[in-house]
Amino acid sequence: MTRQPTIKDVATKAEVSFKTVSRVLNGEPHVREEVRDRVLAAAAALNYRPNIAARGLIGGQSRLIGFLYDNPNYSYVTEAEIGALLRCKQSGYHLAIEPVDSQGDVGGQIEQILASLRLDGVILTPPISDDPAALAALDRLGVRHVRIAPHADRDLSPCVFIDDDEAAFAMTRSLLDLGHRTIGFVLGHPDHGASPQRLAGFRRAMREQGLSPDANHLIQGYFTFESGMEAGLRLLTLPHRPTAIFAANDKMALGVMAAARDLGLTIPGDVSIAGFDDTHAAQMGWPSLTTVHQPVEDMCAAAAGMLISLAAGEPLREAARKLDFQIMPRASTARI
Amino acid sequence: MTRQPTIKDVATKAEVSFKTVSRVLNGEPHVREEVRDRVLAAAAALNYRPNIAARGLIGGQSRLIGFLYDNPNYSYVTEAEIGALLRCKQSGYHLAIEPVDSQGDVGGQIEQILASLRLDGVILTPPISDDPAALAALDRLGVRHVRIAPHADRDLSPCVFIDDDEAAFAMTRSLLDLGHRTIGFVLGHPDHGASPQRLAGFRRAMREQGLSPDANHLIQGYFTFESGMEAGLRLLTLPHRPTAIFAANDKMALGVMAAARDLGLTIPGDVSIAGFDDTHAAQMGWPSLTTVHQPVEDMCAAAAGMLISLAAGEPLREAARKLDFQIMPRASTARI
DNA sequence: TTTGAATCTGACAACGTTATCTGGATCGCA
DNA sequence: TGCGATCCAGATAACGTTGTCAGATTCAAA
């Protein structure tokens, strides 16, 4: 493994000063065409690659964006990552994935990440997007960040989100429109800002129909398949069984499905089931899951785009970007 | 956003030369305890963080490992990424995720990635782990790499793999042990090195039992849900329908399941279905999928570990690491 | 020619760190 | 008290790039 050629090697070969090489490579003016060609030929011949560390030392830019998340087994995260990734690639940026344990010392973890990695910006996914310690640490270190789906203090820093309340309202409405009146709801993880909003939307739609759900029909979940299964089991063994169950995310909805099947109930014959997020699993399961499509990929692409603009010194057009959700009626819900 | 404190700021505050600060921070000897304490106090007070670019300029280390993959919607990749990520975190390394289009100019894409990012090493996931252009580009640029599950030229560069042939053999055996004799097989993507090996294992087990599968019972798939569904449809509408179907990955197995249900067949009553990989979806679907557990997470963790060792200048204990697979009998297969 | 402006090119400093070398202090021992 | 040996700390030079400034060349107009 020989030494990487430097700008000086190229200069020697092209018989110019190394500064001229730098000029050519950065497309600066005031270089004769003949010289430019000679330099480019030399650079190509030596297979020269600029040293990113040296460049970063001057400008302070790393072209690297951080993607902070908790919960490794969250299919939401995969989609989010892809969105950010593709947007980064488009602009020649790169993405460093950084797991963070939101139960631990979030501020310390972020400090550690930024100590060994100079990032041009950071994308925060839930639940970190609502973690005060994370925001404080980033502010202190002066690192730009965009939050995905935050629910507290949306004006604190740039963010991208959907209206969770409105989305849950719409999904509940569509269940009501199918004739369901006894609807169970599986709440999301209490640490996630989206959870209370989705519950609020559900409640609002019920109330608007003159229904006030029994406390038994609201079950606390934790966004996991298992918690969904447990919730489903409890809901579906109630004396006054709901005819539809709306889970605050897809994973829990799949859990509810599994519980229903374990109890010998057919879907959607005996019970309709709806989820939230529209992860890939929603389409691949059977029956396919009626759910709220949250444009996670687009949201993260937008977030990456915002950070790239900021890094380029451009001002942000809007500090908070609201994207549209979409109700995806599939096979897991039916008219009663 | 104030300027980050430099080593010189710390030196000024601690009233020593900046070199002494460097010594303290790097744990070098020959510093009086009193001076050391003063320096550490000053560094803490200023909340000093070393500049990674400057450090990288000298030593040439970035503490950044690249993770190259194709196919964004591949749940295999998610798991692989997590394995690499956790191992990196453990040693203070970071992971940059880099999608590569293996249909395009792979060499060029890799050159581009390494032009703007100095990586201490690269992990190659299938199918890139078998891409000659990728290997050539990395060799030319002198970048260390570890290949995950390669199937050609295992001695070319360090790699981590399982014995796909043996695993497919074992799964086929377990189907035979359940009494199945007419077994359909859905082949993997032709570009993936694992595909022919899994087919070979399947064939070997059948042959050993004195069975030679009908050509109609071998269907080409592409590792996607849709291709699995299509294959399932073809297999299950044959006059002499197989009683079991073994798909070369989980996604296709789920597709076969969907096809079976569309045809009104019960699983595993009418047909047993087995997959390969043991992705999360395998457990969350219904019925849960019998499959081959490939320790993808462990494999990538091992790969990251190898690169970290190499970056630290340690020699590799073994250039090729073979990990064990495991047959996971679940609810989608039954005795005939 | 001479002048002035425009264009091109190079010398040098700077970025923040680590590595090398050198000088001064301290200490043990004769 | 003298004198190596050892320990400590600072000066200075890298690393590979970009930014600043000044010098050199070209060219057109006077």
- pLDDT value, residue A1: 46
- pLDDT value, residue A253: 96
Tell me the fold of A61-162+296-324: Rossmann fold (3.40.50)
Confidence category of residue A153, pLDDT binned at 50, 70, 90: confident
- pLDDT value, residue B72: 56
B237 versus B154: the higher-pLDDT residue is B237
CATH class of A164-293: alpha beta
The CATH architecture of the domain made up of B62-161+296-323 is 3-Layer(aba) Sandwich (3.40)
Task: Tell me: cis bond preceding A268? Omega within 30 of 0 counts.
Answer: yes
Strand C surroundings (CB within 7 A): A 16-17, 19-20, 23, 29-32, 35, 54, 57-58; B 3-4, 6-8, 18-19, 22, 25-26, 48-51, 54-55, 57-59
Q: Does A331 touch chain B (CB under 8 A)?
A: no
Q: Does B25 touch chain A (CB under 8 A)?
A: no
Does A18 contact strand D, using a CB cutoff of 7 Å? yes
Task: Tell me: cis bond preceding B239? Omega within 30 of 0 counts.
Answer: no
B225: Cβ contacts below 8 Å, ≥ 6 apart: A284, B251, B252, B254, B255, B258
Average pLDDT over residues A70-91: 86
In Å, what is the separation between the CA of A310 and the C1' of D7? 50
The CATH architecture of the domain made up of A7-50 is Orthogonal Bundle (1.10)
Pairing label, strands B145-148, B291-293: unpaired
- pLDDT value, residue B1: 45
Confidence category of residue B236, pLDDT binned at 50, 70, 90: very high
Pairing label, strands B291-293, B244-247: unpaired
- pLDDT value, residue B148: 95
Confidence category of residue B156, pLDDT binned at 50, 70, 90: confident
Nearest nucleotide, C1' to the C-alpha of A17?
Answer: C10
Q: Does A329 touch chain B (CB under 8 A)?
A: no
3-state secondary structure of B30: coil
Angle separating helix axes B250-262 and B225-236, nearest 10 degrees: 50
Residues 47-86 on chain A lying near strand D, CB distance under 7 A:
48-51, 54-55, 57-59
Task: Judge whether B62-161+296-323 and B164-293 match in fold.
Answer: yes
Average pLDDT over residues A192-202: 94
Name beta bridge partners: A50: none
Chain B residues closer than 8 Å to A258 by CB: 284, 286
Lowest mean pLDDT across A52-61, A106-115, A314-323: A52-61
What pLDDT, in 10s, does the model give residues A250-267? 999 999 999 999 899 999
Average pLDDT over residues B85-113: 91
Chain B residues closer than 8 Å to A286 by CB: 257-258, 261, 285-286
From the list A82, A117, A254, which residue is nearest B94 (CB)? A117
Sketch the domain layout of chain B as residue ranges.
7-50, 62-161+296-323, 164-293
Q: Does B136 touch chain A (CB under 8 A)?
A: no
Nearest chain A CA: its distance from B189 CA (Å): 19
Q: Whole-model pTM?
A: 0.85
Confidence category of residue A317, pLDDT binned at 50, 70, 90: confident
Give the tokens for residue B261.
Answer: 């249900």
In Å, what is the separation between the CA of B19 and the C1' of D10? 7
Query: Computed over its alpha carbons, how large is the radius of gyration of chain B?
Result: 26
Give the span between the Cα atoms of B76 and A116, in whole angstroms: 29
Q: Is B85's CB within 8 Å of A63's CB? A: no
Report DSSP letters for B260-305, one per residue. HHHTT--TTTT-EEE-SB--HHHHHSSSPPBEEEP-HHHHHHHHHH
What pLDDT, in 10s, does the model give residues B24-51? 888 887 888 888 899 989 988 888 888 8
Angle separating helix axes A18-25 and A7-14, nearest 10 degrees: 110
Pairing label, strands B94-99, B183-187: unpaired
Would you give the DSSP letter of residue B215?
Answer: G
Q: Is B95's CB within 8 Å of A97's CB? A: yes
Of the candidates A149, A151, A93, A158, the residue with the CA atom closest to the CA atom of residue A125: A149
Q: Is A54's CB within 8 Å of B52's CB? A: no
pLDDT at A3 over 80: no
Q: Does A26 touch chain B (CB under 8 A)?
A: no
Q: Does B319 touch chain A (CB under 8 A)?
A: no
Nearest nucleotide, C1' to the C-alpha of A11?
Answer: C10
Q: Does A182 touch chain B (CB under 8 A)?
A: no
Nearest chain A CA: its distance from B1 CA (Å): 5
Of the candidates B68, B182, B65, the residue with the CA atom closest to the CA atom of residue B117: B65
Contact at 8 Å (CB) between A331 and A287? yes
Q: Does B228 touch chain A (CB under 8 A)?
A: no
Residue of A nearest to B59 (CA): A53
Chain A residues closer than 8 Å to B284 by CB: 225, 251, 254, 258, 281, 285
3-state secondary structure of A159: strand
* Per-range mean pLDDT, top range of B68-72, B107-111, B322-326: B322-326
